[in-house]
Every structure is written in C-alpha cells, then in structure tokens.
Structure 1
Amino acid sequence: MGRSERIFCFEAFDVTDPLVQSAERLYEQTQHPDERIPWGWIARSIKGRATWRPGTWGKHLLVATPEEHANDPAHLAGFAYGAHLPGYGGYVSYIGVADAARRRGVGTRLFGQMFKVLAADAGAADEPLPFVVWESHKPGPGSTEADWKLWEARVRLFDRVGGLWVDGLELQTPNYASENGPPVSLQLFVKPIDTLVVGFDEEKVKDIAAGLLERVYRARPGDPMYDATLPPGCHPRLRPAKDAARRREPEKKLALV
C-alpha cells in the first residue's frame, strides 16, 4: 500500500461480506485471547444494525481499506469495533491494524471515523456525546522489548487522536480466555468530546470507570472486579496519553540527613 493512497473507512453491515470475514481473522491476530469476546457476539451486532433505533446501544464494526483496493479482503488495512451507550458516552472496544498497513495512519483514521459514528448515534438520540473511552493492556514485569515497543506505538496513536490516560486506576475486566482465570488489568483512556477537559475531575473519572464496569462488564459495587478497580483511597486523574508509555515512574531521591 503506497503512502499516497487514501484510506477508506466505512461500516460493515453484512456478515457474509468477505471484508467482514477478513476482519474476523485480523481480530484474532491482533487481540489477546484474554481480552477477546467471541466473534459471534460482534457478528450478531452487525445483523442488528438493520433494526437499530436511537436510545439503544449503537454497535459499529468499521473496516479500513486502501482506496485502490476498497473491495479486496486481501488488502484489509484495519478494523474497529465500538458502541454508543445511551446516557453514558462512546466506547471503542477493539481496534486492529494489519502489519502491512502500519505507519500509514490507519489507526488514526479508524479512531476518527469511530468518533464520528458515535457522535451521530448520540445526535440521533438528541443527547450530547461527552466522551469516548477505551482500554489497552500495558506490559508488565517480564514482558519482552517487543511488547514494550508495541505499547509505546499504541500510546503514540492514543495521543494523536486526543486520548488522555487515566492515571491512578487499573480497570479489572473479565478473562475471556478462561472462565476461572484471573481478571485482566487494563489501562483506561478518555477522549473528551462535548465536555471540556476541566469537567473531568476525580469524581467524574471515577464515574466513567464505574459506568464502564456496570454497563459493559455487568460488575457492581461488591463485585471483586469493581472493588479492585475502585478501592477506597483511589484518586484517578487524567494525564497526557504519552505519560502512559513510561515503563516506570521516576524514582524519588531521598533527602540526605
């Protein structure tokens, strides 16, 4: 794919479309099994678009292709899956870019188009879109250098699209690879849309995390995932996305006595 080619980004409506089948393969290649819902759930949401009405979850599968190969599944550049949650905001669940399409602005294009379709859903329901939220897995101790490089590239993308990192909070989510496996710990990112950044104080950020847990993961106070995400003394705040790329916080120097 040449650098001069435009990227088409559009919604898929037919589960039998070869581009959707290609998106399924890319989904399995780019998303960690622990974080991956069954593809059948996504396929059902595609079928449901024909009967969608404002006021219900608006789920979208977007596909990205180079202009000259817009209908060729072999040239699928990327995909994004997200939803508008009425009375809450927008949620980008998954985004993946094909290896051959990296460094072409595909991720930025997918995020930008997803923001637009989520805003359209909010507008259809005659409500604002205060923010769009998404999660991502940060490498931990024992991770490879390749894992860290991939994380740093993701964070640069999040920064480019206007995402802010929620510092001081780790979202605990279900382990989809193992029903009895430990929860998956994810970093949270927020892009303000119709609410000014100054409106996202500590309590607002907590509300965003709580709303995501309750509405997406069906976890409420008293649930181990909920309580581990929002323990007493939790003080989350928004910081530039690029700050999430730090492998560890700078060590504080002890004052000499």
Structure 2
Amino acid sequence: MLAHRFGPLLDAVWLERRQRFLLDVALADGTRLTAHCPNTGAMTGLTRPDARVLLSRAANPKRRLAYTLEAVEADGVWVGANTQNPNRVALALARAGHAPLPASIAVRPEVRYGTAERVDLLLTGPDGRRTFVEVKNVHLVERAGEASFPDCVTLRGAKHLAALAHVVAEGERAMMLFLIQRHDCEVFRLARHIDPAYAAAFDAAAAAGVAMVALRCRVDREGITAERTIPVLDLATGRAEAAALPTAALGPT
C-alpha cells in the first residue's frame, strides 16, 4: 500500500548538516541552499558528504526554509530520513484497515496517556479493547539485510517501552511498531551495543506482552509504500505468538 505520497521532489547532493535541523545541499547546477532536516537523531550511516538526497518543497511560501529533507541514498537504495513520515504511514494504514495495525473501529493520533505523555496512535477494536501504538523510525543497517534500532542512545524510547508495558498490565493492548524506511532488509535486530538500556526496556516490554512488529517500507520518488513485516530477531521463541495482536489484512502494495 502506498501509505504516504510525496509531491514534486528536488534532487540535490549532501554537503553538511549543521545544528541538526539545517542541511546544506548543492543542486545539479551548482546552486547551494539550506534545507530543513526533520530528524533529531544521529542519522548514523546517512550523513555522507556527496550522497544524493531528495527534498520536498514546503506548502507554506512564508516558511524560512523552503525545502525539507525526505530521503538519502545509501547502499544503493533510497532511505527515508524524515522522522515525521513513519507516523503518517502508520496512521494511513490504521485508517485504511491494513496490517500490521490491529483491526479497529476508531483511530486517534497523539493521545495523552501514562508517563509517556502522548501515544502515537490509539486504536479501538471491534471488541472495545484499546491498542496503544508507538512508532519508531528505522533507517540503520550495520549488516547487509538487517535493519537495526536505535542509532543513538534514546532515553525517551525506553520510557515509551515502559509506558506500553504498563498499559498491558492494566488490561489494554500495546504495540511497538518499528517502521523501516528502506526496502533492502529481511530481518530486524536491536542495536544493543548502541543503547543497552533501550535493549533492556525492550526485553521487559516484550515479556510483559507488548507486541513488537517490524514493518519494511519502500521509499522512492512517488512516496512510501508499506511492503511487509519482517522477523524481529530479538524475540524469543514463542514470545512473538504471545504478544500477537489481531490484525487487518494487508492489501495490495
């Protein structure tokens, strides 16, 4: 399913990332400009000078930076770099009734709950039970064919996992959705060496019954297409079944 569509995109070349939110690029004719970088993370593996990038133009003509970074070419594929897009993709899938999101009769984004302040999606199923869904952007590949998360230490991410475990303990359902913005991965594994505390929080949440799902997407000039779920290697045998949620059918991609 094409879950997020890009408008016209501008080709450029990566020059330098400044202050996290500023990306200097060069156009084919040599013109240099500064684009907005909507990614507060380390962007490990993507910050290579001279890498090809795709930029979208802001709808607001009065915005200070007219262009936004959408994707970076790495390892021969387009990799989504806009961390706002995974939530948009997940919301589109939920509203359309597509897997791996649970079948639902009501979909609400950005709902306050627990100690995590806001959950990315709150879904109400036909049985009346709610599913709390957190979405994480994944772009890191350290070994060929294997997507990894996180790419830097994330205290906030560990906090989200603890909050999801808490809602499961209260009788609700919860899902951590690792949305992979590249299509060259066959499996997902935690980058435990980058953030051991996050890995510990993941293990505790999975043991508590939080569903851990990795969804591979294809990024191209048209947009972001949800392809299929891939195995989460960190789940012990049998734990994936225990944490499974009833899902809608995945439609044509």
TM-score (norm 1): 0.32
Higher helix share: 1
TM-score (norm 2): 0.33
Higher strand share: 2
